[in-house]
Amino acid sequence: MRDPQATPSTRDGHFRRSIGLFSGTAINMTQMCGIGPFITIPIMVAVMGGPQAVVGWIAGAILAVADGMVWAELGAAMPGAGGTYVYLREAFQYRTGKLMPFLFIWTVLLTIPLLMSTGIIGMVEYLGFFFPRLGWWPVHLIGLAATGLVTLLLYRRIESIRVITLALWVIMLFSVVGVSAAGFWDFHPEYAFTYPPGAFGPHFFVGLGAGLIIGIYDYLGYFTTAYMGDELRDPGRTMPGSIIISVIAMMFVYLILNISVLGVAPWQQIAQSRSVASMVVEHSWGHMAAAVMTILIIVTAFASVFAGLLGGSRVPFQAAHDKVFLSVFGKLHAKHGFPHVALLTMGVVTAIGTFFDLTEVINMLLAATIIVQSIAQIAALVVLRRRQPELPRPYRQWLYPVPCVIALLGWIYVYVSASATALVLSGAWIVAGLVVFAIWARVNRSWPFAPVEIGEAYLGSD
């Protein structure tokens, strides 16, 4: 999981432009790397139906690069200040007022906690290495307890998560290298490179849709530097470079990890494993080494949920503070000064998400994100080029509009490939958001109950 926290607006120069291409790429990769690959390799292999699962990560990288170019142009032109909700506010204010940024924040209340739920689910799955006979209730009680502990630990002022992020990165790097080395220690090429009959037949594209959902989930975080535009040296170069290089680098990391795992056992066995990293390390180096690796992955999962909820709780707070969302989320704890309403809300949604299957949770969070964020941002880029042609753009999308078209087609493919349950539940959440927005707009005398207010905040900025 990745920290979704947006950097506050600093257009008046409070931040130094100290982040270059190398450090920006490292930041993106840190946010992209989490427990994700260790819990999704079996799912990817299962839905793709064999070792051809590597195509899923390649397809995810292509979509991430194309979409990253959308983030790069918007982020460089409108740095910090809330990220997506600012892009949507600026682009759609002319016709629908604050509707789109409001819906985005409403969706964040679902998607960020669901992203954290995947970490809790993965953590509990790896606990199964030590307690293989856990039943349904113990599994979910552990998930609830872990979510409650994270929320309790966050229920105080925490100034920085840099130490946590650094520790998460070191542990994750050690885990990826360790599991890959264990896989290649006793590698069988016939397992990794022998494809089942019809692997690339008509059903391949059905599996690819499901695989792309898993693939793009593992790349989430490639846009982190888009939230840090005011801290980047030469944003027009650093922004797109850090996004593209981090995606390509992580693609190779995932491919190496995936191939090493597939070379340990038949793909059918890999697909059924609930703690695949533990299985690989135990196969090559024994039970004790596998136990150490399992503990590291469990720690990584817990730390990533901690960092993610800490950052995520600040997003609706910032929007409410800017009068773009429900005012209750703009309140700070009376004693410790942190956004407790958002934290508690996201903690509850995270806990509920742990009762769903991992694949279903990933489907739901992506289905909810695609309409209100991914596709909406592509539209925002096009609208802003027409509405605000004088907007300073340190980076303009290469080969425009080709990346936009590729990203749009990719997101549509992911959306229609999502499960029916995910589409229904995410759709219901968005509809509920429309209802809440109508009530909020009426109370605050905003569009559609008042004329739209045009505020082109970034025109003329340096």
Listed by start position, the domains of the chain span 21-443
3-class SS of residue 19: strand
pLDDT for the residue numbered 156:
78
pLDDT for the residue numbered 159:
59
Instruction: Please provide residue 232's backbone torsions phi and psi, each rounded to the nearest 5 degrees.
Output: -95, 135
pLDDT for the residue numbered 158:
65
**Which DSSP state fits 232?**
B
Instruction: Please provide residue 207's backbone torsions phi and psi, each rounded to the nearest 5 degrees.
Output: -65, -35
Q: How far apart are CA 148 and CA 139, in angstroms?
A: 14
| Cα atoms in the Cβ-side hemisphere of radius 13 Å centred on 188 | 12
What topology does CATH give the domain 21-443?
A: Amino acid/polyamine transporter I (1.20.1740)
Q: How far apart are CA 47 and CA 271, in angstroms?
A: 9
Q: Could you say which residues of the chain have pLDDT below 50?
A: 1-14
pLDDT for the residue numbered 9:
41
**Which DSSP state fits 13?**
S
Asked whether 76 and 235 are in contact (CB, 8 A), the reply is yes
pLDDT for the residue numbered 315:
84
Residue-wise pLDDT for 206-236, tens only, equals 889 999 999 999 999 898 888 777 778 888 8
pLDDT for the residue numbered 312:
83
- List helix spans (H) across 265-357: 267-272, 276-285, 287-312, 314-321, 340-353
Distance separating the N- and C-terminal Cα atoms of the chain: 33
